[in-house]
Chain A
Amino acid sequence: MAQIQKRSLITPEMLDGKAFAESLLEAGLETGLLSETEHAKLQYSLLELLASRLEALYGKETSSVPDEVAGEVFESLLYTLGAFLKTAPDGDAALAMLRETDPAFLYQKGLRRLQILTRDVRVLAGEVFTTRIPCRNGFYNTATGKELYGFLRSYRPRSQAHQHGQFVYYATALPCRDLAGVEYIRRYALSLLWENRFCGLFSKEEVASLLDSPEGRTENIFSLVLKQACGRVLAGLSPGSLTLTAEDAETILLLHRGKPERELSAFLQAELRLPAGSYPAACLPAVGRELAFAIKRGNFRGVLKVE
């Protein structure tokens, strides 16, 4: 017998990973799961929670704070609630949790979750550091060294939980646009680790040689390595090495000129046998696009290192 599953009225598209609690309230109103009155009451209960947070943070000295300070604490509070509400199986369940549970209790649960995520970041920071690629890319070296620890030292979950600082300058191949705070940093650290592990599959000498270029000192290292490995595959070679000769480049042009970008990506996906949903697999379309453009142009300058 076919199983009947309840569908959530609040779909993932209605929810914002950076502002989960606020988007949940709006989605509740939009889907009719919340009436206008219930919506206003929930907002009021969150303001009461804000008042108690401000009291805990500043109450010994003052009964009022500048709007900027209150706004910052409020964003932090909503972010913390959202971090816990995200653990619900779907949007409807998250809204039910918000409606039926004391916001102060949800906030405590949220803080606990942030603590667990912060602990994850600490572990990941260590792994990122030990797997880092020896290179002269200053952005990469700072990101995989000082920056993650810097975040851990400066993170303030009780007043600025939603902040992740402005210090991450080294862009990973898959940018993280839908998270903030410690969730963002955790994803960033995980991305760095995936990238390091992938680059670690190749010989250190070959990676070092590939990075000995202006691009290698500023751009995302993993993307350069993945592109080069894909170049090898397009030339009919094993992706275990990163060396490409002028003859290999000619072969790529001969074999793949005129192929549409999607076909090229599908070919790379099939040849590299990357698990669906894996980090490198998610990066393939962008690499395929860049390689397709270089093939169309007829040269690989700035895309592949050809010896």
Chain B
Amino acid sequence: MSNKLQAFKKNAAALTKSKDADKLLLYNDESIKHGLVLTKEQAIRLLETKDEELRYNGRLEFGEGVIGKLITAFCDSPYMNKQNYSQNLERLLEIFYYYKNETDGQLSDDELIDYMKTFFNGSCEGSLELLESRELDSLARALRRR
């Protein structure tokens, strides 16, 4: 990352965390219809995971970000439940950013999330391992061959 950007981000990071967590909790209004709710601690943890994944994958997020889209897409999945909801979201975030890079910007956020949802609820039957190592890997390879 450019040194300038890194320095700015480091100093400003502390100003944002709590505000972002509150925004994330607004998605509970939608997910609660499916019996799924994030606590404030889980929301903060999810944001920390997002920061780690962005850093690890060398990306910068802007706008509303992708967590809300993942919640909206996956909260009605038959494979999501109270016990695995927060952890699964963390794993889905990891997978999303990894394949965002692997597909080299050929898929928009919405397209990638659509593929993830279709595979997760279909051929993977809720397995995040299969989603990552089989389906999305094949998809990324196919896109690279194009």
Measuring CB to CB, which residues of chain A are less than 8 angstroms from any residue of chain B? 19, 22, 39-41, 43-44, 46-47, 50-52, 54-55, 59-72, 74-75, 78
Contact = CB atoms under 8 A, between A and B. Distances in A.
A47 B105 CA distance: 23
Task: Pick the most buried of B60, B62, B101, B108: most chain A CB atoms within 10 A of its CB.
Answer: B62
Interface string B94-135: 000100110001001100000000000000000000000000
From DSSP, what is the main secondary structure of chain A's interface residues?
helix
Given A63-B109, A71-B4, A75-B2, 5 more contacts: A50-B5, A51-B63, A64-B66, A66-B59, A72-B2
Contacts of A43: 8, 11-12
Task: Pick the most buried of B12, B58, B100, B105: most chain A CB atoms within 10 A of its CB.
Answer: B12
Interface residues of B, number: 28
Closest CB pairs A-B (n = 3): A71-B2, A70-B60, A51-B62
A78 B65 CA distance: 23
Contact of A64 (B4, B5, B11, B97): B97
A47 B54 contact: no
B1 A70 contact: yes
A70 B58 CA distance: 10
A39 B4 CA distance: 14
Contact of A65 (B11, B60, B69): B60
B19 to A, nearest CB: 11
A53 B9 CA distance: 16
Contact of A59 (B11, B60, B63): B63
B142 interface: no
Contacts of A78: 4
Contacts of B1: 67-68, 70-71
Contact of A67 (B5, B14, B62, B97): B5
Contact of B62 (A60, A64, A66): A64
B4 A75 contact: yes
Nearest to B8: A43
B2 A63 contact: no
Interface of B: 1-2, 4-5, 8-9, 11-12, 14-16, 54, 58-66, 69, 97, 100-101, 105, 108-109
B63 A55 contact: yes
Contact of A70 (B5, B14, B63, B105): B5
Contacts of A47: 8-9, 12
A114 to B, nearest CB: 19
A22 B2 contact: no
A66 to B, nearest CB: 6
A67 B9 CA distance: 12
22 contacts: A22-B4, A40-B14, A40-B15, A44-B11, A44-B15, A50-B5, A51-B62, A54-B63, A60-B108, A61-B109, A63-B61, A64-B65, A65-B59, A67-B5, A67-B59, A70-B2, A70-B59, A70-B62, A71-B2, A71-B5, A72-B2, A74-B5
B59 A64 contact: yes
Contacts of A51: 62-63
A72 to B, nearest CB: 7
A57 B12 CA distance: 23
B8 A64 contact: no
B20 to A, nearest CB: 12
B136 to A, nearest CB: 17
Contacts of A75: 2, 4
A45 B54 CA distance: 20
B11 A62 contact: no
A47 B58 CA distance: 17
Nearest to A70: B60
Contacts of B109: 61-64
A40 B9 CA distance: 9
Contacts of B69: 63
